[in-house]
Structure 1
């Protein structure tokens, strides 16, 4: 599997307060970004996998909602996570 428990803990440790901080918006956005990148690569090879395409669209929507929440709540944290993950917005 592409996303192991160790990989999740590494993502949350890097972008959250600790590796057990799964509830922070930054950690969730980082996890969604990792999953979005993986699904994008999968869809480049498997163009007709429509279930994965639907899941990808759903994940992008969830990430956008979290980023909008973060932008309204604390603009500095929003700018930091955008710069750190290299997202365009």
Structure 2
């Protein structure tokens, strides 16, 4: 009878160089996507702000809500069973819809520009 050959056991918490490299690339691409989105949002805010510390105007509220909605949508793509977040998302969408309706009645030209800029409706 021969002895069983012992296999080299790889520790569970270690990764190979290629796995680590691909993980780093994924993280880097996610960071660049986030920075691109953040810069786009900053550009929209600069475009629609009425003054330097503007946080309450309809336009700025709509832009910040859109940013939050997009982030939460990405979260829900991964975590499909997160029903509490889904409820929060629905509340944010409803709030944005109300703000857009108010903007449409007060300033239709800005409303049309925002819809196109943010890509909300087709």
TM-score by length of structure 2 reads: 0.61
Shift of 1:74: 1.3
Inter-partner Cα distance in structure 2 for 1:45 and 1:85 = 23
The reply to whether residue 47 of structure 1 matches residue 80 of structure 2 is yes
Contact 1:13 1:20 in 2 (8 A): no
Question: How much is the aligned-residue C-alpha RMSD, in angstroms?
Answer: 1.9
Contact 1:12 1:19 in 2 (8 A): no
Tell me the residue number matched to 1:69: 102
Inter-partner Cα distance in structure 2 for 1:33 and 1:19 = 20
Q: Which runs of 4+ in 1 moved over 4 A?
A: none
Inter-partner Cα distance in structure 2 for 1:52 and 1:86 = 23
Q: How does 1:18-37 map to 2 (within 5 A)?
A: 18-37=51-70
Provide structure 2 residue ranges, at least 5 long, that are not aligned to the other structure. 1-37
| Structure (1 or 2) with the larger CA radius of gyration | 2
Shift of 1:12: 3.4
Larger relative CO (CA 8 A, sep 6+): 1 or 2?
Answer: 1
The size of the alignment, in residue pairs, is 82
Shift of 1:15: 3.0
